[in-house]
Structure 1
Amino acid sequence: MSIAAWRRTGLFALVLLLPFGKVSLVPTTACAARADFVWRPASPKAGSLFRVATTARPVSATRASGTTAVTATVAGEPLHFRVVGDSAFAIAAVPIDSTAGITMAWQCSGDTSGSVRIPTTAGTYRLERLRVAPRFGAPPDSVTATRMRLEAERAAQVSRSAHDTPRQWSLPFLVPRTSRITSPFGGGRTFNGAVTSRHMGTDYAGAVGAPVRAANRGIVRLVDAFTLGGNVVYLDHGEGLVTAYLHLSTQLVAVGDTVSRGDTIGRVGATGRVTGPHLHFIARYGTITVDPAGLARQR
């Protein structure tokens, strides 16, 4: 399917009615054939996933055929193109603080490279005031701060390594719980009237012991008890996508397990920094945390 056909048919329904952005590669010795990059929406929202398409085939899909090869990154994260007809499509992500645009850079099979600035739109994320126990509102002591930094680095390593994992899923992503959302992604949080942060996940209601499902097929990369996240499970879905499940009362998987879409991987709890039992669900593309709602539209 060509990019033109993609635009006509809306292969990806989430962008069917949205304008698109486009840039063309100038023909060069390394990229002998003209190729287009197209992305939708034309100005993706901060904190969201979006789609990029190109008529220049990625290296992994073209070594055998010897056609033009192009690799690309968006906001510093590599794209994983999947060939459909005469075009290739990839998921990309916008950091939540990128309200003035992000850079897409590409490189041909030789030394030729280029870049374009993709405009972005600020998200309409609400402000939420939350009171927590005083011990969580105060700055952590040096030992706790070091532990939190090491925990964050371990989680970040899972996200970075997901770019090296082949795609594990073939079906749409599920929500981990069908219960009410108690706190959506992206809202500004003021803790005890003093500390402001972003809520970088989606909270689902649930009593202690309620089941938590794997959003899609993936490999368990991290199972541990974190200072803030409590009992956590991190799943690597491949091609840069990771989901995480926090504050669990029970973890039902082990590192190295491969889980299927919809498997019960844990149970709702109130571990870590919480005001009550719930599931905190995180989605990342590489190291960029995005609104998990966008996962359901990925193919």
Structure 2
Amino acid sequence: MNEQGNYEASNAGIVRALHVLSGVATKTPILPVDGPAGRFWLKPESLQPVGAFKLRGAYHRLAALSEKERAAGVVAFSSGNHAQGVAWAARKLGIRATIVMPADAPRAKRLATEALGGEVVPYDRATESRERIAAALAAERGAVLVPSFDDPWVIEGQGTIGLEAAGQMGRAPARVVVPCGGGGLAAGIALAIPGSEIVVVEPEGWDEMGRSLLSGAIVEVGPKPPTTRCDALQTIRVADRTFSVLQDAGARGVAVSEEEIEVAIRLAFDRLQLVAEAGGAVALAAMLAGKVDVVPETLVILSGGNIDPADFAEIIR
């Protein structure tokens, strides 16, 4: 079934997605980390071919397209990681990809997207709506719109991380600590391993999922949110779909500061030889700051490593 219709993400769909992604996505390792409160396990999705987990959902979505849909191409909107995931999957499947990307997105992410064959359409995130621009382009071209998180196939693709980790650990983790922007990754993991507690982590001032889960209804980011290095997590409003999955799963959220994020980036590099971007490091930051307790079989997702080289040099210096 290619047209979305009433299709919703499910555990069975994530099992199917794991087969679709076999031999396509990298089976990333799980690494032991000894934090202040004890040992936990880190899964570095920064080791994927595009430097982030996003190719899982992007490839799963594009692989489900009909031949007619593939011929028309796809349109996505992203600050960079979903952009690269879609461009990478599109090139692998022979599909034209157009990405609506903020003009102030990290240069490295824009160049990487273009290098993968994606057409980048810039916009001003302060005054324009990426959703409206992308929808207009898709309608004009007859292309399929591929959202970064509000899509059942994308959610299922991201959820394969949970199944993969459970297989590596020999059991489902008791707790999974996950970076959260729109919630596609966290929702997918919640569906994949329903017995695990889900803790979503966001940068301070951009913690709309955590506040939504606490209040029981979706809360948008307020006016004039603070500046953050977490370009990948600057979501103004989470989707009804991802919020509903996480609410049903009993998920909760925490927020981390920019300083705590920088500590996590430095530790990932110094002790694990991993390059982490700010948005990808928030879950690790929460653990190191003691904002999430360590329980046996705690799994932490490091979701991406696409950081601007100058920013990375400044942080680790």
Which structure has greater helix proportion? Answer: 2
Query: Does the pair score TM above 0.5?
Result: no
TM-score with structure 1 length normalisation? 0.27
TM-score with structure 2 length normalisation? 0.26
* Greater radius of gyration (CA): 1
Which structure has greater strand proportion? Answer: 1
